[in-house]
Each structure stands twice: as structure tokens, then as C-alpha cells.
Structure 1
């Protein structure tokens, strides 16, 4: 009956995805145009200061959402902060929906100390035994089963989100997972194995996809903030100035790698450091216009901390499944820093690329990597 009524009702073709980050609130509007999804609007505003520190700053967050709301389109799809959601991929025998619901409650207690009656628990079948999607299990001769993504979030958090959006004049039609949003944008058509990494300010989302199927998800405890914080503390500047310095250093890295590519040879770390010092010395502000080679090296050491987190996740999955990622697809804040992307690729020794969504954009709109999750959220009701 539900499906029958659904088919009778007019289908909606215009959705908004809202991603509330530590520094920015991003909204993407996706609409069906000539039969295909198209990004028709992108909008962002600063998040309330310390919005995610301890308790959510409800009052300022409500006002911020009011400031960026679409006066006509009230329904939105959002995602709950990754640190508030517990997600695990587990291998279970093939079960009916009723059996899997009970199994999910039992399994989640292994990871969450909160009583199950205070949680909203969901499961998603990532591979289905009924359709033969048991590549790893069959190859190893293991017991037939399926990969299931278990999700748990406190009831109070879900109610709080609905309340905040309601007070801002919006209606939350769905609270989705960042991993699914990233999969919709970059992972559905992946052939082979790829790791999708979206860098936020404080944390990053890691999604490993094999042949279009999510195999592993993880929240990384590191984000772009480690780079900006280092610069802010080193030069005693504010966030905006830190971003300017970061972009200058990134430009130097891009120039170096371009020159290296043209010359067809690899330059020594000493040569690279000298070039970066010379580029940084062109900055107008005398206070930080003369960075030392040691400072440049420290910044590269900070980048190495980010790559270590990625390497840990890649190694964990390889240990579990004996399958190595063939490439990394980046989005989020690091998507602007192409020089640092080259640094990561050199460190990880596998291809690293900035993700490009397979979706049309309105003529006056251009893709920005920070909108990857919000675009994926808006696509939730528009693609299978």
C-alpha cells in the first residue's frame, strides 16, 4: 500500500543537502533538469564559533541556518556530526530483515556503552549473498555471509537536530551518513579499489570502495586544522592569514612539482626547501616573509602526520581483506591544496587525485571540493 500511494503522489525533483562543519555550513541544491540531476546552487556561511565544542551552540546555529535557508524549499537532508555516530562494517551470515535487525542490536553493544533503548540503530547491507556479492568470502572459502554497515546514534542527538532545523524554519526529511554522501558523488562507478577521503577542519571521513560497493568506513581524528593551527601558532596570525600563508606554500609546491615534471628529474629536499623559502619570501608581511628552512620542514612534517593516518586505515583494510587501495580520491578542505596532494602521493606511493563529481552544474556554478558531502546529501532521493 505504501509503494502504491508513493507512486500516485507527485515526485519531488529539488533537494537541499546541508553539511554543518566546524568552520562552515555548506548547502547544495540539486534539481532534476531535463531528466538529469544538476547542481543549481551552492551556498556557505561561517559556522558559529566553537559550534561542536562540548554542547552544540543551539541558538547561534539556529540563526546561522535561518540566514542561509531557501525561502521556498523548506525540506532538507542533513548529516549528523561523525563523532556522534558509531559506524562499523561487520561480516554476518545472510539473514532476513527481522533477524538482521536483532543481530544489529546485539552487535552494536560490542562497540557502544549506551543502552540500546537510548539509541537509534540502523543497518545497511553492503553486499548481498542472495545476489552472489561475496567476493572476498567466497575466494577465501569462508562461511557464506554478507558485509553489513551498523550505525548507532543517541536518540537525544537526533531529536536535537530535528529541533534545531525546525526552529530555523526547515524540515529534516532524512539524516544521512557522510560516507553514503561521498559514495554517491565519487564511489558508485569505481572499478577496482579506491579510498575516498573528505578532509574537514577537525576530522576527516575515510570510505573505502571496491567495485562500487562500500567495504570500510572510518572517521579519522585529523583534518586541515592541523595545518592552519601550525601556521597560526608559528606566526601568531589569525585563521584568514594562516590560510593565505598555506596557499602561498601550496603554490610553491605546485610550482616545484610542475618544474620537476618538465625537467623529468627529482630534485633534492634541500633544493625544494630553498625554492619554498624563496617563494615565501615574496609575501608582503615582513613578519612572516622570511620563513626558515626548519619551518618549511616542520610544515611538511605536519603533512606527514596526515598521511600516517591514511596509511593506518589503508593498512588495516589490507590486513583484514588482503586488498590494497589502487588510488585515493580527495575532497573537502585539502581539495584546494594541489601541491600538498602531490606531497601526499609521494609519501603514500599510490595515485592521489582530487575528486570530480559526475554531475552537471548550472552555468553560473562551479564545483568546490568543500561541497562534496552536501552535494551527496542532496542526491540521496535522486539516485538509487
Structure 2
């Protein structure tokens, strides 16, 4: 059972947030001054076909080369990065341990207790933990958040990062990275999110993550097998293009004039249905209605999609922009970071680890 840096504390001199997905690698580097943030560097690079299967890296060298290209394009000189494993690949559990324990004694106790909460052989697991605070049930105990993932899953990402000549300084979980970044969305929320329930829907290439926050803390999350690749595949079927050609045409333009009616409107209906079903499942468990929906990811850039989803589900829906109150360096602005902003939630959450 190996310790990983899920909750490394202390300020890092510099740190890149690196979001590795089946469609792309996205990196962002932030600095802070006077209580505000500035984007120092940004880049995105397509992930080589078949290099990542769902969330499993099957060709670390190919992914590493994509990361290397992204770093070069960004112009960043930073070599330490924060990466994340998917929420589905991690187990998180709040456990109770005696409050007098600290240091090595606390670590030994957590490792001992972990055996009862992790359904894998301890030799296959990497873990980390953080003290949350006093137990609400027993004054002699303290709550500790335990996070674990298969070592193989963690090492896949570490190997790809190292193949790019970088140092994986922090290994986080996407759930926590998203929660960390959501404070960058407070400017878009009613009452800055205070006392509010807000759903965040991140439409990725092959997976959509539906999260619900209360007071800017994640209270619910589920992953859906749905994403922008389905739109690309429909373009392939409708217009006879290759998958690569369809992907470029989808983002760069050049599709026939009937594209919106024949393909895009149906896909937006599918997006709305995914959100509606997720809301139904959430409400059946929590019996509360979100005050707002924020959508992000590449599909959030489809013109008019927020209005379509909002009208179908009956909840005010807006496009999330985690960079909305950040300043941009000329270098990042030239790389098109503002156009990519809605797809940078996870990368921003990882980059913010520099400051916490």
C-alpha cells in the first residue's frame, strides 16, 4: 500500500494543472497576486487515437509525446504538474480515528483501518488521507478523509507525465479538482453560491460528469457514458467523413448547411435528456431542486445549447467560465485560452493546488 500525493499541502513555487483525457491533454498554469489569479500559460493538444481507452492509458509514450507538445506550445518553463485520476477509479471514505493520534501513529492507524474500507488487496492500492476535523459522534475521535486508488491506475498517469520530461508532484481525484475549481464559478452563481444548490454538467469527449454543489461543496456526483464523440460519430454517419475529419469539421467549421437541422439539434436534445435524467436521479435521492445549472466542456460551446437545456429542464442554465474573473498573460491569450475556458474546469482545479 503506497502513499500518493492526493492532499499534498504547502505552496509550490510553480505547478501546472494537467488534465489528461481520451480526446485531449489540457494544461494551465496560474499565478496569484492581490487576491486574484492570472493565467500564465495554457495549451491543449489532441490525444493520439487509441492511446487512452475510456480513462485507461494504454500507450503512455504516445500520451507523453502529446503532453510534451502541449508544454512546448504553452511556453511554460515549469516542470512540476498536478494530475488526477477519475472519480470512478478512486474510493473516498470518511473514517474515525482517535483524536490524539498524529504523525506516523496516525498514518499507521489509517492504513490499518483502510483494510476494512477498500475492496482491493492492500498490495495493489495507493492511498492518501487528510484530517477533516472533530468527529460529530464521538468527542474522543477525529474524522479523516481516506482516498485510495489502484496503484496501476496512478502509475499509468505518472509514467505518461514522466515520458514528457515532467514531474508528477500532486496526484488528485477529479472530484476534488472540480470542487476546488468551482469557487472560480461563484461569480456566475446566485448569491455567489452561498446557501445555493448548483448543478455542474461537464460534457467531455466520452464521459459527462454531473455534479451538484451546495455552498460550493460537492454533495453528489455521477458519470454518464455520453459525450462529444457521439456527435462526431453522427457526423461520420451522416456525411461519410473519417472520424478525424469529422472532429476537425465539428470544431473548425465546413460542414454542410443542413448540419444544424440534420445532426446538431438532435444531439442537443440528447444532451438535454442526459441532464434531465440526472436531475431526476438526484432529486429522488436528495428531494431538492438545483437553483441553477452550469454547463462546461467542449459541447458547452455549441451555440444556443444552454438555452435549449434550460428550457427543457425548467432551470436557469448558463455556460461555466472558470476564467471569468482571471487576468490573462499575453502568451495565454495568444494561445486561445479564453475560447477554451469552458473545458478547463478540471485543469484549473489542479492548477489551484499550488495555492492550497
Q: 1:65 aligns with which of 67, 70, 84?
A: 67
- The alignment status of 1:156 with 2:122, answered yes or no, reads no
Paired residues of 1:232 and 1:239 also in contact (CA < 8 A): yes
Report the Cα distance in structure 1 between the residues aligned to 2:134 and 2:342, rounded to whole angstroms.
Answer: 35
Q: How does 1:1-384 map to 2 (within 5 A)?
A: 12-34=12-34, 36-53=36-53, 56-69=58-71, 72-82=77-87, 85-87=89-91, 105-109=115-119, 114-122=120-128, 151-187=147-183, 189=186, 190-191=193-194, 192-239=196-243, 242=246, 288-290=256-258, 295=262, 299-357=264-322, 359-364=325-330, 365=333, 366-367=337-338, 368-383=341-356
Distance in 2 (CA, whole Å) between partners of 1:39 and 1:163 is 27
Partner secondary structure for residue 106 of structure 1: coil
- Higher strand content, 1 or 2: 2
Contact 1:39–1:359, Cα closer than 8 Å, also in 2: no
CA distance in 2, matches of 1:41, 1:195: 29
How far off its partner does 1:66 sit?
2.0
Q: Deviations over 1:305-337 (max 9, x none)?
A: 333333333233322232221111111112211
Aligned-residue offset at 1:58: 1.7
In the alignment, structure 1 segments of 5+ residues that lack a partner are: 1-5, 135-144, 249-282
Secondary structure of the structure 1 residue equivalent to 2:232: helix
Residues 182-218 of structure 1, C-alpha deviations (whole Å, 9 max, x = no match)? 2222247522101112111001222211012221122
- Contact kept? 1:78, 1:172, Cα under 8 Å: yes
Greater displacement, 344-353 / 63-72: 63-72
Against the structure 1 CA distance between its residues 124 and 330, is the aligned structure 2 distance closer, same or farther, given a 3 Å change threshold? Answer: farther
CA–CA distance in structure 2, aligned partners of residues 19 and 229 of structure 1: 24
Q: Give yes or no for contact 2:31–2:40 (8 Å, CA) kept in 1.
A: yes
| Normalised TM-score (structure 1) | 0.70
Equivalenced residues, count: 318
Q: How far does residue 125 in structure 1 lie from its aligned partner after superposition?
A: 7.4
Change in 2 beyond 3 A, CA 1:22/1:160:
closer
- The offset of 1:105, in angstroms, is 4.3
Offset at residue 174 of structure 1 (A)? 0.5
RMSD after superposition: 3.6
SS at match of 2:40: strand
Report the 3-state secondary structure (helix = DSSP H, G, I; strand = E; otherwise coil) of the residue aligned with 1:308.
Answer: helix
Query: Residues 348, 14 of structure 1: CA spacing in aligned structure 2 closer, same or farther, 3 A cutoff?
Result: same
Larger radius of gyration: 1
Quote the offset at 1:346 in angstroms. 1.5
**SS of alignment partner, residue 155 of structure 2:** helix
Return the TM-score normalized by structure 2: 0.75
